[in-house]
Structure 1
Amino acid sequence: MTHATDTDDDDTPAGPPMPAGGKNYITQAGCDRLRAELVQLLDVERPKVVETVHWAASNGDRSENGDYLYGKKRLREIDRRIRFLTRRLDMAVVVDPSLHHGKDQVFFGATVTYARQDGSETTVTILGMDEADTAQGHISWVAPVAQALLKAREGDEVRLRTPHGWEVLEVLEVRYPVPVP
C-alpha cells in the first residue's frame, strides 16, 4: 500500500531544465562540484538517513513516527537529487575556458563587461547551467544576456530582447582565465 507521504514526484526537476540539444556545458570546477555533491549524498547523507529510517521503523507504529516519516521524505529528496546529478554528469561536456585566454571574442567561460544604454556597466561570467549564480555574476550560457553576448567581440554592440523591448549592449571587455600548466 502506498501512502500519500510515500509518493515520489519524479516529474519535479531538481534544477534548471536542459536546453534543446541536451548539451550540458560546464567548467571542470563546476563538474567537480557536482561530482563532490553526488559522492557526499551517496557516501554520507543517504546512509545516515537510511540508518535513521531503519531505526525509526523498528520502533513500531510508523503512521505517527516523525523520525520515520521525515526520514522517508528526506530519502526521497536525496534520491531525486542523486538521479538529477547523475543525469547532469552523464550529459556534461567539460569546457576549458582558459583555451581562449587572450582572445577578445565571447565564448563559454568568458568574463564579459558590457555597457547598457543608460551608461551602467555590468560584468558577468558565462558558465554552465548548474554553475549559474547571479549574486556572484555567474550566468548560464543559455540565459538571454549570454545568448546575446556569445560570439561578440570587444567593441561590438549586441541587441538583447527584454520585456520592455530591445536594448543595445556594448561589449567593453572580454577576459578568460589564465591556462594552468
Structure 2
Amino acid sequence: MRTPLVTRQGYEALKRELDELWRVERPDVTRKVSWAASLGDRSENADYQYNKKRLREIDRRVRYLRKCLENLKIVDYRPEQEGRVFFGAWVEVENDAGKVLKFRIVGYDEIFERNNYISIDSPMARALLKKAVDDEAVVATEAGSVTWTINSIAYEKQGENDDSNNA
C-alpha cells in the first residue's frame, strides 16, 4: 500500500498536469477525433484510431489524477525536522564501497521521470527515516543488506525552487 503523502511542489505539479490534460490536450484530441470521424470509414482511418486511443489514455489519467489529488495529504517543511531525515528531505548517503547517492524522499506520485527522487515507501527511505548525519542505515534488498552512512540532510523551505537541489 502506498503512503498518500505529497510535497507541496509535487501536489502543484500534479494539479498542473491535470489542468493541462483537461483544458489543452483533451479538447485538441477531441477536435482531431471529430475531424477524423467526419472523413468516413473509421475502421481504416489511422488518425481516428490513434486519437481515439489517445483520448482514452487522457481520460484514464484525468480520472486517476482527480482521485489521487482528492486523497493526497500535503506535507510541508517544519523547522523541527532539521537535522533528521523525514518526508521531503534531500539526503546524501554513502556506502562502504564509496558509492554516493543524493535523492529526495517524496510521495509515490512524484517519483516518475525524476531519477533523483525516491518514494517514502522504498526500503532506502524507510531505513533512513528519523536518522541524523553520520548515522548508519542498513537497507535490506533482494541482493542482500547494504549499510549507508548519511552525509547530509537538507530541506526545501516554502518558496524555494524545486530544481535548486537537483543532483
Asked if TM exceeds 0.5, the reply is yes
> In structure 1, the residue corresponding to 2:85 is in which secondary structure?
coil
Matched, 1:28 2:8: yes
Q: 1:140 to 1:134 in 2, by over 3 A?
A: farther
Quote the residue 1:57 is aligned against.
37
Q: Is the 8 A contact 1:101 1:177 kept in 2?
A: no
> In structure 1, the residue corresponding to 2:66 is in which secondary structure?
helix
How many residue pairs match? The answer is: 160
Paired with 1:128 and 1:70, the residues of 2 have a C-alpha distance of 32
Quote the residue 2:18 is aligned against.
38
**Which residue of the other structure, out of 101, 106, 110, is the alignment partner of 1:122?**
101
> In structure 1, the residue corresponding to 2:22 is in which secondary structure?
helix
- The one-letter amino acid of 2:18's match is L
Matched, 1:172 2:151: yes
Paired with 1:48 and 1:101, the residues of 2 have a C-alpha distance of 47
**Post-superposition shift, 1:145?**
0.9
- The one-letter amino acid of 2:94's match is A
Q: Return 5+ residue gaps in structure 2 as ranges.
A: 161-167
Quote the residue 2:165 is aligned against.
none
Paired with 1:77 and 1:50, the residues of 2 have a C-alpha distance of 12
Spell out, residue by residue over 1:65-91, the C-alpha distance to the aligned partner (whole angstroms, 9 max, x if none): 111111111111111111111121111
Matched, 1:146 2:125: yes
Give the root-mean-square deviation of aligned CA atoms: 2.0
Quote the residue 2:164 is aligned against.
none
Q: Is the 8 A contact 1:148 1:159 kept in 2?
A: yes
> In structure 2, the residue corresponding to 1:81 is in which secondary structure?
helix
Q: 1:133 to 1:79 in 2, by over 3 A?
A: closer
Runs of 4 or more consecutive aligned structure 1 residues displaced over 6 Å after TM superposition:
none
Q: 1:80 to 1:114 in 2, by over 3 A?
A: same
Q: Is the 8 A contact 1:126 1:140 kept in 2?
A: yes
Mean CA deviation greater in 99-108 or 159-168: 99-108
Paired with 1:113 and 1:68, the residues of 2 have a C-alpha distance of 49
Q: 1:180 to 1:29 in 2, by over 3 A?
A: closer
Q: TM-score, normalised by structure 1?
A: 0.80
Q: Return 5+ residue gaps in structure 1 as ranges.
A: 1-17
Quote the residue 1:6 is aligned against.
none
**Which residue of the other structure, out of 90, 113, 119, is the alignment partner of 2:70?**
90
**Which residue of the other structure, out of 102, 111, 120, is the alignment partner of 1:132?**
111
